[in-house]
């Protein structure tokens, strides 16, 4: 009989979460490297270069790939001959491992979990609790499949119960464009088919823990209908032209994973969950011999790709910037920002909107006149860092506040990731403002451009507090210009037509 010691299990969870925070899976890096080599869209190619270079920096510096270090999900298969040397529940053991990982002083990870989910939504401070799924199986080992799932991709999860005669392919091709770019493509699509509503969602989530092997499948050919479906969806989703970061290009997904389960004769439950460019997952087995021993990847596994600011990019001084100057910027143009900007995301925007609605003044230091706001919740710094990884969060979530911010605060520009909705774009156009996009999945690289950081307001919001960053050559792309033209609309449309009209092998 195998005995799993409490300390071994907790240490294994903590070590695994630290490991995946800074090491991309080897299969993801190699697949993205191949996609980069095949990419023909300059904007998508630049975004991929930033993601790949960021990944290598994180592996070398052992710092998070993304500022959103994810919510923790585990799939545990516990052998029925296993005995646990503990008086705690499995949930408590997992949560202790999560706590130790996220509070590790050598590599602090961002705490993103709030409780309760409605009302106060107070940050738990240590990223607990995790979401744990347990299955009892024959045997004397414990199989652990673990992931840290970013909120930007998790928020794009989709579910439907189709009629048995409906086309699943049509549903996927109709649904993927509605997900926008907030899930930070290129990544993976996980699809669960069958079972019940909750089973389909679990299948989709679990499928994302598989290795990227679509190129092997292409080489040998499909062996069953599920593999045929994977190949068909891989080709047709990439043909949508969404591309890296939604900028338009040849590669939107690096793989499509599918798990199935028998279902009711009257139903066809289908779930789809994307995995972002900060793909983080790991599996290991505990056999009672001690905690898991994780072998770091070799730096030779990373493509020899570096990134440096484009010499043709426009350099912009944020201090003293005017509406006349930003009116000359055009969608897709690359900028290098220097100067001071404020940060703020969901909770800070809501507080500002509430203060303005009550006719109250903004907190001292929160003067947004002719300034830019960066949608970010950074990781806490360690050692000599100014700030930890500080990549952009999904700008679409701030759409509901855009008119208030542009109309009542004097704000002239916003920085985030992904597209803006119609109402936000109309507000940007009406006020002669701009929206700039930084690359999601390049958080450590972005943090290198931040030269100082100070807390300004709403300290109790933790990572969502308002800070002032001073940046130097922070790389961004004009996503929506002052005339309301969006690169997230024009880019994919252009590449969808090009893919349909030119012979091309999608990587």
Q: Are 450 and 386 in contact (CB under 8 A)?
A: yes
478, burial (CB in 10 Å: exposed 0-12, middle 13-18, buried 19+):
buried
Q: How far apart are CA 250 and CA 126, in angstroms?
A: 39
Other beta carbons less than 10 A from residue 248's beta carbon: 28
CA 309/CA 417 separation, integer angstroms: 18
Cα-Cα-Cα-Cα dihedral of 500, 505, 506, 507, to 10°? -170
- pLDDT at res. 505: 47
Do residues 402 and 380 make contact, with C-beta atoms less than 8 angstroms apart?
Answer: no
Buried b or exposed e, range 416-434, using 16+ CB within 10 angstroms: bbbbbeeebbebbeebbbb
CA 488 to chain centre: 17
Buried b (16+ CB within 10 A) or exposed e, 40-59: ebebbbbbbbbbbbbbbbbb
Question: Pick from 450, 45, 506: which is nearest to 245 by CA?
Answer: 45
Residues 458 and 45: their CA atoms lie apart, in Å, by 38
Q: Cα separation of 111 and 461, whole Å?
A: 11
Q: How many residues does the structure list for the chain?
A: 507
Number of H helices, E strands in the chain: 15, 19
Q: Are strands 268-275 and 281-286 parallel, antiparallel or unpaired?
A: unpaired
Supply the pTM of this predicted model. Answer: 0.94
How far apart CA 37 and CA 251 sit, in angstroms, is 11
CA distance to 87, 150, 236, 411, 436, per residue, from 421 (Å): 51, 21, 25, 18, 14
Compute, in degrees rounded to 10, the torsion defined by CA atoms 37, 42, 46, 47.
-100
pLDDT at 502: 62
Phi, psi (degrees; rounded to nearest 5) at 264: -65, 145
Q: What is the pLDDT of residues 106-145, one digit of tens each?
A: 999 999 999 999 999 999 999 999 999 999 999 999 999 9
The H or E element spanning position 405 is: helix 399-408
Going by the DSSP 8-state scheme, the letter that residue 284 receives in this structure is E
Report DSSP letters for 32-72, one per residue.
HHHHHHH---HHHHHHHHHHHHHHHHHHHHT--SSS---EE
For the stretch 43-64, pLDDT in tens is 999 999 999 999 999 999 999 9
> What values do phi and psi take at 32, rounded to 5?
-70, -35
Domain annotation for the chain: domains and CATH numbers: 1-149+281-307 (no CATH), 151-277 (no CATH), 314-492 (3.20.130.10)
Closest among 130, 112, 129 to 121, alpha carbons compared: 112
pLDDT the model gives residue 504:
46
- Report the alpha-carbon angle 348-353-126, nearest 5: 20
Identify whether the C-beta of residue 125 lies closer than 8 Å to the C-beta of residue 37: no
- CB atoms inside a 10 Å sphere around CB 62: 15
User: Can you list the positions of beta strands (E) in 80-141?
Assistant: 82-85, 114-115, 122-123, 131-137
Tens digit of pLDDT at every position of the chain (507 positions):
899 999 999 999 999 999 999 999 999 999 999 999 999 999 999 999 999 999 999 999 999 999 999 999 999 999 999 999 999 999 999 999 999 999 999 999 999 999 999 999 999 999 999 999 999 999 999 999 999 999 999 999 999 999 999 999 999 999 999 999 999 999 999 999 999 999 999 999 999 999 999 999 999 999 999 999 999 999 999 999 999 999 999 999 999 999 999 999 999 999 999 999 999 999 999 999 999 999 999 989 999 998 998 888 999 999 989 999 999 999 999 999 999 999 999 999 999 999 999 999 999 999 999 999 999 999 999 999 999 999 999 999 999 999 999 999 999 999 999 999 999 999 999 999 999 999 999 999 999 999 999 999 999 999 999 999 999 999 999 999 999 999 999 999 999 999 998 654 444
């Amino acid at each position: 009989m195998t005995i799993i010691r409490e300390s071994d299990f907790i240490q294994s969870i903590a070590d695994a979460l630290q490991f995946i925070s800074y090491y991309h899976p080897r299969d993801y890096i190699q697949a993205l490297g191949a996609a980069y080599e095949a990419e023909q869209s300059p904007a998508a190619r630049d975004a991929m270069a930033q993601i790949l270079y960021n990944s290598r920096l994180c592996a070398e510096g052992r710092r998070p790939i993304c500022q959103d270090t994810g919510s923790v999900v585990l799939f545990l298969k516990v052998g029925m001959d296993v005995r646990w040397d503990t008086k705690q529940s499995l949930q408590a053991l997992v949560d202790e491992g999560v706590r130790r990982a996220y509070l590790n002083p050598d590599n602090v990870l961002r705490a993103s979990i709030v409780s309760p989910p409605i009302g106060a939504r107070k940050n738990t401070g240590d990223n607990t609790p995790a979401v744990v799924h347990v299955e009892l199986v024959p045997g004397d080992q414990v199989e652990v499949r673990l992931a840290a799932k970013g909120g930007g991709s998790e928020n794009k999860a989709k579910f439907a119960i189709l009629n048995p005669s409906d086309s699943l392919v049509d549903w996927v091709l109709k649904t993927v464009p509605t997900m926008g770019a907030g899930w930070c493509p290129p990544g993976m699509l996980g699809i669960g088919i069958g079972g019940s509503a909750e089973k389909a969602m679990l299948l989709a989530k679990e499928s994302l823990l598989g290795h990227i092997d679509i190129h092997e499948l292409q080489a040998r050919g499909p062996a069953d209908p599920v593999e045929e479906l994977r190949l068909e969806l891989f080709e047709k989703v990439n043909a949508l032209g969404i591309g890296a970061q939604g900028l338009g290009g040849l590669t939107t997904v690096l793989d499509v994973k599918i798990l199935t389960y028998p279902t009711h004769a009257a139903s066809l439950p289908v779930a789809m969950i994307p995995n972002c460019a900060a793909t983080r997952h790991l599996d290991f087995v505990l056999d009672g011999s001690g905690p898991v021993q994780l072998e770091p990847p070799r730096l030779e596994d990373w493509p020899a790709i570096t990134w440096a600011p484009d010499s043709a990019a426009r350099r912009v001084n944020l201090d003293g910037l005017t509406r006349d100057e930003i009116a000359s910027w055009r969608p897709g143009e690359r900028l290098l920002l220097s100067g001071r900007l404020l940060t703020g995301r969901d909770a800070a925007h809501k507080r500002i909107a509430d203060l303005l609605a009550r006719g109250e003044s903004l907190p001292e230091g929160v003067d947004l006149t002719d300034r830019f706001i960066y949608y970010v919740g950074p990781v806490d710094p360690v050692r000599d860092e100014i700030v930890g990884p500080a990549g952009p969060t999904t700008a679409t979530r701030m759409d509901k506040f855009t008119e208030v911010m542009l109309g009542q605060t004097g704000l002239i520009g916003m920085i985030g990731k992904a597209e803006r909705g119609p109402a936000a774009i109309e507000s940007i156009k009406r006020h002669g403002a701009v929206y700039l996009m930084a690359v999601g999945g390049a958080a450590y690289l972005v943090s290198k451009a931040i030269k100082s950081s100070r807390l300004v307001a709403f300290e109790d919001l933790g990572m969502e507090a308002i800070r002032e960053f001073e940046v130097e050559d922070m790389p961004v792309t004009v996503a929506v210009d002052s005339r309301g033209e969006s690169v997230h609309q024009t880019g994919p449309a252009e590449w969808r037509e090009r893919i349909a009209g030119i012979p091309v092998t999608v990587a």
